[in-house]
Structure 1
Amino acid sequence: MDSQAIRDVVLRSLDDHKATDLVALDVRALTDVADYMILATGGSSRQAKALAKYVLEDAKKAGCPYIGVEGLDEADWVLVDLVDVIVHVMVPEARELYRLEELWADPAAMA
């Protein structure tokens, strides 16, 4: 399964389960770690945890490759690693604090 198909599975899952502020960043020109970073917000740590679990479940059903999940215990920031697509599900406070969209959108910010 190519990275665009994985991205689409993830975005559909997050949208279906009411994630907010969905952003898909194409980071192929910026890093070899992944092709896409997907950012989503859950209204609470409970919702962020549930969203990450739904993404993982839907990705597995679709046959997406999977490396791991980090942050499920606290769930303020949960990372789902689907090899070429990395999913960040955050509570609003973490999303505002880390501002990953800004970091990955501006290559100079990472230098």
Structure 2
Amino acid sequence: MSLDKLKQNIIEILEDLKSKDIVILNTKLNTFLFDEMIIVTSSSDRHGRAIASNLYKIKGKLDKHIKIEGIENGDWIIVDLEDIVIHIMQREYRDLYDLESLWTK
């Protein structure tokens, strides 16, 4: 699956699950670890877990490993799809860590 198709599938899942404030950052110039970062806001820990679980279902379409961190708490979950990393954060964590500012400087 191409990177654009993967990103499109991810965005569809995020929008279907009512994720808020979806931001896509191109990180190719900042790191060699991944090409893009997607940051979204979840409304609760349960909502964050549901988003991560649905993103995990993409695994069947990929020949890559998927790693998920933080699903136990649900307040900040990272889904690593190798080329794209998704941060699912509750509002207070997103405001506190302000990843958009860190990665766009």
Report the TM-score when normalising by structure 2. 0.92
The Cα of 1:61 is off from its aligned counterpart by 4.1
What letter corresponds to residue 92 of structure 1 in structure 2? R
The Cα of 1:13 is off from its aligned counterpart by 0.7
What's the RMSD between the two structures over aligned residues? 1.3
Contact kept? 2:56, 2:66, Cα under 8 Å: no
Contact kept? 2:39, 2:87, Cα under 8 Å: yes
Once the two structures are superposed, the pairs formed by residues 64-103 of structure 1 within 5 Å of their partners are 65-103=64-102
The Cα of 1:29 is off from its aligned counterpart by 1.1
In the alignment, which residue of structure 1 is the partner of 2:42?
42
| Of 59-68 and 82-91, the range deviating more from structure 2 | 59-68
What letter corresponds to residue 101 of structure 2 in structure 1? E
Report the TM-score when normalising by structure 1. 0.88
CA distance in 2, matches of 1:64, 1:95: 30
SS at match of 1:21: strand
Count of residues paired in the alignment: 105
List alignment gaps of at least 5 residues for structure 1: 107-111
Relative to 1, partners in 2 of residues 1:64 and 1:19: Cα closer, same or farther, differing over 3 Å? farther
Contact kept? 1:9, 1:62, Cα under 8 Å: no
CA distance in 2, matches of 1:74, 1:18: 20
Contact kept? 2:59, 2:66, Cα under 8 Å: no
